[in-house]
Amino acid sequence: MSGYTIIEQIYLGSRTAVYRALHNSDRRSVVVKVLRLEYPTFGELVQFRNQYAIAKNLDLPGIVQLLNLERLGNGYALVMEDWGGLSLSQYLQQQSLSLPEVLDVALQLTNILHDLHQQRVIHKDVKPANILIHPESKQIKLIDFSIASLLPKETQEIQNPNVLEGTLAYLAPEQTGRMNRGIDYRADFYALGVTLYQLLSGRLPFESEDPMELVHCHIAKVAVPVEQVNPSVPSMVGAIVAKLMAKNAEERYQSTLGLRHDLQQCLTQWQTTGEISDFELGERDLCDRFLIPEKLYGRETEVTQLLTAFDRVAQGASELVLVAGFSGIGKTAVVNEVHKPITQQKGYFIKGKFDQFNRNIPLSAFVQALRDLMNQLLSESDRQLQTWKEKLLEALGDSGQVLIDLIPELERIIGSQPPAPELSGEASQNRFNRLFQNFIQIFAKAERPLVLFIDDLQWADSTSLDLMQSLLTEAQSKSQCLLVLGAYRDNEVFPGHPFLMTVKALEDANVTLETLTLGPLSAHSLNQLIADAFRASQSAVQPLTNLVIQKTQGNPFFATQFLKA
């Protein structure tokens, strides 16, 4: 690297390396982070530019100052100040931290997160490896903004755990894409909680070699309280850690100021008396921004019916569950509640959506869903991919090219295939339906149930409706573990509509079918939502509730948009 003299290697990872170097012109000591691969991926290049673009504008005492981003071969080199710190993970290998030192680290990190969140930056990867500690002064700084975000809220799509953004052991439940929740600044509080848990107990709250099991732990399992793992940890400190690690963001701390007050109270008591007496957590935890809770209100019955259907499917059945309602009524939000049990069963959730303006493209939603599945498979291990390749080749025979023409990603798994024999008209359609059924049958197994979500069925083309009918009829006869979820706007279908005719045909074929019709939110549910959003009593927000009902007729989407306006 021209202009610099490398002194020593500080860190060597699978994707990056970090060196201490001298800047030749002014002999200043700097730290240089580089990409190891000769040909980095596009995503790696974007992350490098992202961390520079965000961090260069952060003139904060708790952030390592970035000096430059320079081209190096086919990638980049990130030049930072040499502050003299080492990562907290390295520091802990040399010596442990006492309780007051852990509380001091927690307070410093809280102050850093406060400054970041005031700048509307979400770090999204807080962990000991990204926390620097000065060995003498014990000052803390935060590094690595490669996946940091300037958006107030993000939505994480379902991905294989191997390719999720962030570090799996410290990942907030909503960052898994399986919580039906958006990602905001409170994701950093969860990661801080996991980090403090590790500093206090010497172990992570959840440990597993199976990435999907780790994801399930984050979204569904409660960690063993840190004070039980290490009895020398005071119960109030354990309570703070547990609050930081709450599964739902609404149950965590809502502000760094509230967290700082509780941590400071613990540290002051410990330094004064050598113990920490009980006090009420979150007394000064006032949120500085307006946030509408993302939990579902007034949909408990429908969610229970949906989860019960999934339980039946996991036992070896196939079903169709239709969710009907107006636009904005919350159909997708209800369907997404099935993510948690799917994760527990290590199943697959795939989805596709019909488009009002592309009805002339047959099978568009099913193609989207299968491409979604292929992308999930492609991020699995080579060994698992080989297993899928063998099963797919057996199921598709010499007609694999038929599906490759629709789903190009499939070729990356099964390799190039010979051209399929030409067929015309009904014969071609029957062959496709048979291949699609064979394809789905591979994945719809008891050990890994398959959930297929098709949205906006009111705009489905006739070919797709025929495929859905044959797929469900075949799945029922072969006891496949397949749950098809369909959402449609019931105000846009009429007697004799092709979709309703397909539903009637499925009922006549004795396919297990259930329809959940979502209506507007009740006055009570809307009142509860508004009370939670304003952190006030339901009686205090009743006048606002009446106004919202008058303006939105209880439509959840319209109601939340009205409140944000």
- For residue 273, pLDDT over 90 is answered with yes
Q: What integer pLDDT is reported at residue 157 of this predicted model? A: 65
Top pLDDT among 40 and 111 is at 111
Are 328 and 555 spatial neighbours (Cβ–Cβ below 8 Å)?
yes
pLDDT per position as a tens digit, 338-358:
888 888 888 889 999 999 888
For 233, 334, 500, 514, the CA distances from 322, given in Å and listed in that order, are 50, 11, 11, 6
pLDDT of residue 275: 92
Q: Which tokens is 239 given?
A: 């309570």
Residue type, 83: W
Q: What is the mean pLDDT of residues 292-313?
A: 92
Banded model confidence at residue 476, pLDDT cuts 50, 70, 90: confident
Contact between 464 and 363 under an 8 Å Cβ cutoff? The reply is yes
Structure tokens of 153?
């809220």
Task: Supply the pLDDT for residue 409.
Answer: 92
For residues 357 and 492, what is the distance between their CA atoms, to the nearest angstrom? 15
User: What's the token pair of residue 343?
Assistant: 């994760």
Residue-level pLDDT at 325 = 94
The pLDDT of residue 156 is 65
Lowest mean pLDDT among 9-18, 314-323, 459-468: 9-18
Q: Per this entry, what is the length of the chain? A: 565
User: With 70 as the cut, is the pLDDT of residue 529 above it?
Assistant: yes
Task: Please give the pLDDT value at position 552.
Answer: 95
**In the prediction, which pLDDT does 308 show?**
93
Sign of the Cα torsion 390, 393, 394, 396 reads positive
Q: What is the arithmetic mean of pLDDT over 180-186?
A: 86
pLDDT value at residue 166: 74
- The Cα–Cα gap between 342 and 344 comes to 5
pLDDT confidence tier of residue 540, bands split at 50, 70 and 90: very high
Instruction: State what percent of residues in the chain have pLDDT above 90.
Output: 56
Taking the C-alpha atoms of residue 495 and residue 489, their distance in angstroms, rounded to an integer, is 14
Report the amino acid identity of residue 353. K
HSE (side-chain half, CA atoms, 13 Å) at 177: 17
Beta-carbon count within 10 A of 130 CB: 21
Structure tokens at 432: 């496709």
Tokens 């975000």 belong to residue: 149
> What is the predicted pLDDT for the residue at 212?
83
pLDDT at 479: 74
Strand locations in 217-280, DSSP E? none
Mean pLDDT of the 423-430 span: 82
> In this model, does residue 359 exceed pLDDT 90?
no
Helices (H) and strands (E) in the chain, counts: 21, 13
Rounded-to-integer distance, Cα 82 and Cα 60, Å:
16
Whether residue 550 is predicted with pLDDT greater than 70 in this model: the reply is yes
Name residue 180's amino acid.
N
Measured over the CA atoms of residue 36, residue 40, residue 46 and residue 47, the dihedral's sign is negative
Residue 11 is predicted with a pLDDT of 81
Categorize the per-residue pLDDT at 515 as very low, low, confident or very high, splitting at 50, 70 and 90: very high
Whether pLDDT at 558 is above 90:
yes
Position 158 scores a pLDDT of: 62
pLDDT of amino acid 149: 87
Residue 94: pLDDT band by 50, 70, 90 thresholds? confident
The confidence band for 96, taking pLDDT boundaries of 50, 70 and 90, is confident
C-alpha to C-alpha distance for 64 and 87, rounded to whole angstroms = 12
Give the residue-averaged pLDDT of 387-398. 91
Q: Considering only CA atoms, which of 158, 470, 496 is closest in space to residue 320?
A: 470
What pLDDT shows up at residue 119? 92
Q: What is the pLDDT of residue 361?
A: 86
- Residue 24 pLDDT greater than 70, yes or no: yes
How far, in Å, are 45, 402, 417, 452 from residue 410 at the CA level?
A: 26, 11, 10, 18
Q: What is the largest CA-CA distance in the chain?
A: 86
Tell me the one-letter amino acid at 510: N
- 264: helix, strand or coil: helix
CB-side neighbour CA atoms (13 Å) of 221: 16
Can you read off the two tokens belonging to residue 252? 């965590």
Please give the pLDDT value at position 243: 97
**Best CA proximity match to 176, nearest among 308, 48, 349:** 349
Mean pLDDT of the region 492-513: 93
For the entire predicted model, the pTM comes to 0.82
The top-scoring range by mean pLDDT among 49-58, 394-403, 510-519 is 510-519
Sheet holding 86-87, edge to edge: 86-87, 131-133, 140-142
Q: List all residues 6 or more positions away from 305 whose beta carbon is below 8 Å from its beta carbon.
A: 321, 514, 516
Residues 6+ away with beta carbon under 8 Å from 473: 506, 509, 511
Q: Which of 464, 476, 477 is nearest to 436 (CA)?
A: 464
pLDDT at position 113 is 96
Flag whether pLDDT at 209 surpasses 90: no
- The DSSP letter of residue 127 is S
Contact 103, 192 (CB under 8 A): no
Q: Is residue 164 scored above 80 in pLDDT?
A: no
Q: Give the pLDDT confidence score for residue 9 in this predicted structure.
A: 87
Over residues 37-64, the pLDDT tens digits come to 888 888 888 888 888 989 888 889 999 9
Q: How confident is the model at residue 161 (pLDDT cuts 50, 70, 90)?
A: low
- Strand pairing partners for 453? 351, 485
Q: Which residues contact 476 (CB under 8 A, 6 or more apart)?
A: 318, 509, 510, 511, 512
Of 336-350, 352-366, 426-440, 482-496, give the range with the top mean pLDDT. Answer: 482-496
Best CA proximity match to 320, nearest among 518, 519, 510: 510
Alpha helices in 38-98 (DSSP H): 42-55, 88-94
pLDDT band at 500 (very low <50, low <70, confident <90, very high): very high
Could you tell me which residues are beta bridge partners of residue 318? 482
Count the neighbouring beta carbons within 10 Å of the beta carbon of residue 222. 11
Q: Mean of the pLDDT values across residues 322-340?
A: 91
